[in-house]
Amino acid sequence: MASNKKYWQSVEELNENSSIVETLRNNEFVEEIPTDEFLGNEEAMSSSSTSRRDFLKYVGFSTAAASLAACEGPVIKSIPYVVQPEEIIPGVADYYATTIADGFDFANILIKTREGRPIKVENNRMPGSGISANARVYGSVLSLYDSMRLKQPMIASKPASWEEVDTRVKAGLAEAANGGQVVLLTNTMASPSTDKLIAEFGAKYPNFKHVVYDAVSSSEALDAYEAVYGERALANYDFSQADVIVAVGADFLGDWQGGGYDAGYANKRIPKQGKMSKHIQIEANLTLSGSNADKRIPLTVTQQKYALVHLYNAVTGSSVSAPAINEKYAAEVKKAAQQLKAAGSKGVVVTGIDDVNAQLVVLAINAALQSEAFKPAEARYTRKGNAKDVAQLVNDMKAGNVSTLIMSGVNPVYTLPNGADFAEALKKVKLSVAFSMKEDETASKATIAAAAPHYLESWGDVVITKGTYSIMQPTIRPLFKTRQLQDALLAWSGNSQSYYDYLKASSSAWFSGKSWNQLVHDGISVSETAPSVTAAGADFGGAASELSKAKTAGDFELVLYTKTGMGDGQQANNPWLQEFPDPITRVSWDNYVTVAKADAAKLGLENYNVANGGLNGSYATIEVNGVKLENVPVIIQPGQAIGTIGVALGYGREAAMKKEMQVGVNAYKLYANFNSLQGAKISKGNGDHEFACLQLQKTLMGRGDIIKETTLEIFNTKNASEWNEQPQVSLDHKEVAATSVDLWESFDRTVGHHFNLSIDLNACTGCGACVIACHAENNVPVVGKSEVRRSRDMHWLRIDRYYSSEDTFAGDVELKESTSGLMNSIETFGAMEDPAENPQVAFQPVFCQHCNHAPCETVCPVAATSHGRQGQNHMAYNRCVGTRYCANNCPYKVRRFNWFLYNKNSEFDYHMNDDLGRMVLNPDVNVRSRGVMEKCSLCIQMTQATILNAKREGRPVAKDEFYTACSEACGSGALVFGDINNSEDTVTKLKEDDRMYHLLEHVGTQPNVFFQVKVRNT
């Protein structure tokens, strides 16, 4: 039925003669649209035939130009975004294969870009990609957007053009041609095309030298390999081929010789058909490798040298005399030697001792074993530095013999132990050029600071291991007026070619079977011919004899090392890496001296907790050969060999650093003769230091249900119900399985996708790559040292580290269960808070468990957190009012609260506080505001992208196609993500494994994250 009602829009319509009514009837807009201002000149527009379609093109172009300006490849600025580049779809990520080779870290990687911006690193899974990305590699994308980068070249600390630089350098080189030395000082680049280019450049100057300098030297290992195999390289190892691994002072799960051994190691550490490898670690500092070992033997470095001689005698049948080993561990070393001998070709030995004799002995042992894990033919080129050449260069500079010095990828004023001498000698060099991303300690003192591009803005090639050839390609156009060393060498040689053309023309000599485009697409090529090597004779017996003569120097043995997050210090201005907690000590924003508990007691050094839970520690003064390092914070470290101390390199930088990043002490000053072992004195200093420590609870207190573990013998001989006991609860006064009791009604989860994540405690090494990958993918903010100290860190993913209070975790459980009575309990549990002198160590990644019956969901008063059909626990940030009830009710303590606004806030002057730094943000993930709770989302944006991609292609999601940032980053394969409703997914099979258990299963939360029981081969 039609309505005769009339509706009025305005009271003025009641007056038929109103002028306002007439105006509204004839004009949609009351005010005239300012077309003159918007479209420009009225006369020009009136004579134009521009259509509406063309007009919209012009408007769209202004947005498109901004995005295209940063895209890889040449930009034709006249093309509007409506004629879209084929490879760029707004809202869809593009991936480019490239290689990082910064002189310390080497890896084949993929770069995720959004609208021309690199925002995340991922692993390249192509065949031949042997080294997976570590925490620093994942963090390197943020260094691209460092606001402290050099924006253009500088001459005498004043801005200059590249034309001025070229003129100055060519004049200097011409002058040097009359007799002065021309020296090129670089880091290890492992680049065949660059080596060829340098040789061509050097041929023009009779006194040219190319000196390779590694800030953290492997010179002794290189010397030993060169003596035996005739090439300056390092032996490679495949730990998946070893049944018995003996590591002597080598943190091969850390940064030893470039790292990247996690995958092979973890492959053999997961029990299969009742077998797994046995790992014995002999070391001074507690390392990642030592933490994962089945048996760890803490010895001084001198004693480690004696242990190597004992191993050499046992394997080769020699009888080199060696001093006795500490009687407390002598039997263990003897047992290790016997097990190694019995393993034969399935045994392997590695060492990180900076002594050419130690390195030669290890080569001899592996050759005698005919070790299958020992791969000398597949040599590594991740280190090529020569300590003797560097020392000679400094002497030549002091003598005034160097006319022109060109430096690239090095910062000797900071990293040399005699950095001050180098800076002084630099004044005697007529022309010094430093290619650097920043005006760092060296570049600020050079004649010319040449602004260098980030590796994500560069072309290059890399041979990481013999038989492979990798390409480095730019994923964004240079952000600033930078130039690669290679382009500069070509220009200074009078060659008009670009380095890209030079690289493309010369690359065919090092790879075959692929086109250039295919090589750039894949990022790596593997030779069809297996590499080979011929061993020459060496005096191995003499080396062992020399090793046995080692003497302890100083009151303590100082062992210098690199931390997992900071490495050699070249990314010290990276806030992700500064806030990344050390896997062992769980301390961020600092380096420190690690001291054994017994030694700390003698020296009066201490650690203690203050009222707000923060960790404090004494200061110490360390002296090496008359050089003092003062105000070094002290960490009392369980597992530290008595008589030794450890300090991390890479800290204490100040030049071209934000104030907040200027933390720690520069331990390079103690790195005399490029040797990680130094004789030292240590004494207590004045005052106390405030640490930012993320974990104050050191032990499990016998709670074997948190990290379940067993021995290989029990695993093989007993039923799973004994070593993976299921928790029981009381129901109607009867013990029943905790999983059989439910407070809520469950709904059918077999429809659609249902995501689960498996964490294998045998494969997890605690490296932390997943932590930084999570930061990059999910826009996790950096809060700074002060907030971390207040336990306000924002990491979505934490890796808990626990020590045993007895010699083993099994001993802790036995002690707890045998305790009875009030007084006995207080005494026992009080003692169990302190780790053992040489404890077992366990790592456990913990993040939101995405419980099917989540306690957080039931207490949120505004339904900001809820459960999704696919198994994820969701957070609606716009609904959250910050009551924090959810965090209080979470048994896993994995929720993070934004106490402040961490972006665009000068109080938190990190990457989110400047426009350049915010370019790294992932547009698929919301940047949270103050007062909002956040947590792991199981990377819902990634799972949805996978579903939509499969839908667009008209196919079901493939097996194991789903992944999260953490599971993708895990080089060891410990984290496996997938859909348990897909019977083919690996995670489905893992959920049915006998080793599977849930964290705090007795609480009844029914998590979608589960763990695999840790098995030790003791």
pLDDT tens digits, one per residue of 96-112: 999 999 999 999 999 99
* Predicted TM-score of the model (pTM): 0.89
Residue 967 or 537, more confident: 967
What is the model's pLDDT at position 68?
A: 47
pLDDT over threshold 80, residue 936 = yes
Which one-letter amino acid corresponds to residue 577? L
Return the structure tokens found at 427: 């004044």
CA atoms lying within 13 Å on the CB side of residue 842 = 27
What is the model's pLDDT at position 180?
A: 84
Mean pLDDT, rounded, of the chain: 90
What is the model's pLDDT at position 14?
A: 66
Question: What are the residue ranges of CATH 2.40.40.20 in the chain?
Answer: 552-691
Mean pLDDT across 630-648: 96
Judge residue 751's burial from the number of C-beta atoms within 10 Å of its C-beta, 0-12 exposed, 13-18 middle, 19 or more buried: exposed
CA atoms lying within 13 Å on the CB side of residue 93 = 21
Mean pLDDT across 980-1003: 94
Nearest Cα to 970, choosing from 262, 276, 239? 262
CA distance 699 to 720: 25
What is the model's pLDDT at position 78?
A: 41
Residue with tokens 């090129």: 184
Class of the domain covering 709-734+757-1016:
alpha beta
Return the structure tokens found at 585: 């000590």
pLDDT over threshold 70, residue 164 = yes
620: left (phi over 0), alpha (psi -120 to 50) or beta: beta
What is the model's pLDDT at position 428?
A: 93
Mean pLDDT across 480-507: 93
3-class state of residue 620 by DSSP:
strand
What is the model's pLDDT at position 861?
A: 94
The H or E element that residue 988 is part of is helix 986-991
Percent of the chain at pLDDT exceeding 70: 92
Nearest Cα to 540, choosing from 348, 333, 325, 368? 368
CA distance 687 to 621: 12
601-620 tens-digit pLDDT:
999 999 999 988 899 999 99
Superfamily of domain 219-380: Dimethylsulfoxide Reductase, domain 2 (3.40.228.10)
CA distances from 950 to 114, 259, 870, 939, 977 (A): 20, 36, 16, 17, 17
Judge residue 918's burial from the number of C-beta atoms within 10 Å of its C-beta, 0-12 exposed, 13-18 middle, 19 or more buried: middle
CA distance 478 to 454: 8
Mean pLDDT across 246-254: 95
CA distance 199 to 193: 10
pLDDT over threshold 70, residue 254 = yes
At 947, the pLDDT band (50, 70, 90 cuts) reads: very high
Question: Can you state the percent helix, strand and coil of the chain, rounding each to 5?
Answer: 35, 20, 45
At 42, the pLDDT band (50, 70, 90 cuts) reads: low
What is the model's pLDDT at position 870?
A: 93
Return the structure tokens found at 849: 């468990």
216-238 tens-digit pLDDT:
999 999 999 999 999 999 999 99
Which one-letter amino acid corresponds to residue 592? Y
**Which residues, at least 6 apart from 251, have a Cβ–Cβ distance to it below 8 Å?**
283, 287, 288, 289, 290, 352, 561
pLDDT over threshold 90, residue 3 = no
The H or E element that residue 209 is part of is strand 208-212
Which one-letter amino acid corresponds to residue 794? M
At 19, the pLDDT band (50, 70, 90 cuts) reads: low
Query: Which of 11-25, 173-187, 428-442 shows the lowest mean pLDDT across its residues?
Result: 11-25
464-491 tens-digit pLDDT:
999 999 999 999 999 999 999 999 999 9
What is the model's pLDDT at position 476?
A: 92
Question: What are the residue ranges of CATH 3.30.70.20 in the chain?
Answer: 709-734+757-1016
Mean pLDDT across 5-14: 64
What is the model's pLDDT at position 79?
A: 44
912-926 tens-digit pLDDT:
999 999 999 999 999
Contact predicate 727/1003, CB 8 Å: no
At 178, the pLDDT band (50, 70, 90 cuts) reads: confident
At 8, the pLDDT band (50, 70, 90 cuts) reads: low
At 16, the pLDDT band (50, 70, 90 cuts) reads: low
pLDDT over threshold 60, residue 49 = no
Which one-letter amino acid corresponds to residue 504? K
Which one-letter amino acid corresponds to residue 103? G
At 77, the pLDDT band (50, 70, 90 cuts) reads: very low
Q: Answer positive or negative: Cα dihedral of 927, 931, 936, 942.
A: negative
Strands 556-562 and 644-649: parallel
CA distance 61 to 758: 47
Contact predicate 766/563, CB 8 Å: no
CA dihedral 354, 356, 357, 360 (to 10 degrees): 110
At 13, the pLDDT band (50, 70, 90 cuts) reads: low
Mean pLDDT across 168-172: 93
What is the model's pLDDT at position 778?
A: 95
- The CATH code belonging to domain 88-217+385-510 is 3.40.50.740
Q: Using the 8-state DSSP alphabet, how is residue 581 labeled?
A: P
The per-residue b/e assignment along 706-728, b for 16 or more CB within 10 angstroms, e otherwise, is bbbbbbbeebeeeeeeebbeeee
Question: What are the residue ranges of CATH 3.40.228.10 in the chain?
Answer: 219-380
Question: What are the residue ranges of CATH 3.40.50.740 in the chain?
Answer: 88-217+385-510
pLDDT over threshold 70, residue 74 = no
What is the model's pLDDT at position 377?
A: 93
Mean pLDDT across 374-403: 93
At 634, the pLDDT band (50, 70, 90 cuts) reads: very high
What is the model's pLDDT at position 20?
A: 63
R_g (Cα) of the chain, nearest Å: 31
Mean pLDDT across 35-50: 52
CA distance 438 to 474: 19
- The CATH code belonging to domain 552-691 is 2.40.40.20
What is the model's pLDDT at position 116?
A: 87
